[in-house]
């Protein structure tokens, strides 16, 4: 069963934009200690915004073309949510472009966290403590 927190977030993850400074997507900066998903979301938001612009499509038009909620792309680009894998696949097919570069993990800062909350010590993290 998937645990949902307040606002519908999964596993207690905060929206990607809560970890960053600056305006999403092009001026946002994630600290090295931000969870890996934040770094991935920022790359995705930038590539998605650029792909839509190059094709002359609004965020709403891309969402509709991909069969997603009309606000989905706008929310992804603004760092308000983590897209699921099915949504990512639909967006790539609709735009006929790769949205995440291969080997993205190799570009992450060394201090990147695998935790949802980088302030949680590894021994206290529920996924690693065996609880």
The pLDDT tens digits along the chain (131 residues) read 334 444 444 456 799 999 999 999 999 999 999 999 999 999 999 999 999 999 999 999 999 999 999 999 999 999 999 999 999 999 999 999 999 999 998 898 887 877 665 454 444 434 433 44
Report d(CA 11, CA 64) in Å as an integer.
28
Which ranges of the chain does DSSP label H, i.e. alpha helix? Answer: 36-54, 59-65, 72-77, 85-95
Give, in degrees to the nearest 5, the angle at Cα 19 between 67 and 91: 15
Report d(CA 104, CA 123) in Å as an integer.
27
| Residue 39 neighbours by CB under 8 Å, 6+ apart | 30, 104, 108, 109, 112
- The predicted model scores a pTM of 0.78
Kindly list the domain boundaries of the chain, sorted by start residue: 14-99
CB 25 within 8 A of CB 45: yes
Give the three-state DSSP class for 40: helix
**Looking at the domain 14-99, which fold is it?**
434 Repressor (Amino-terminal Domain) (1.10.260)
């Amino acid at each position: 069963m998937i645990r949902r927190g307040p606002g519908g977030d999964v596993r207690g993850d905060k929206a990607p934009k809560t970890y960053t400074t600056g305006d999403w997507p092009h001026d946002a900066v994630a600290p090295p200690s931000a969870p890996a998903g934040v770094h991935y979301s920022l790359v995705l938001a930038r590539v998605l915004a650029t792909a839509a612009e190059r094709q002359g499509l609004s965020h709403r038009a891309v969402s509709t073309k991909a069969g997603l909620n009309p606000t989905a792309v706008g929310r992804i680009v603004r760092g308000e949510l983590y897209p699921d894998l099915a949504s990512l696949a639909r967006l790539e097919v609709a735009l006929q472009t790769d949205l995440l570069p291969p080997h993205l993990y190799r570009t992450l800062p060394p201090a990147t966290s695998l935790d949802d909350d980088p302030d949680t010590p590894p021994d206290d993290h529920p996924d690693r403590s065996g609880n």
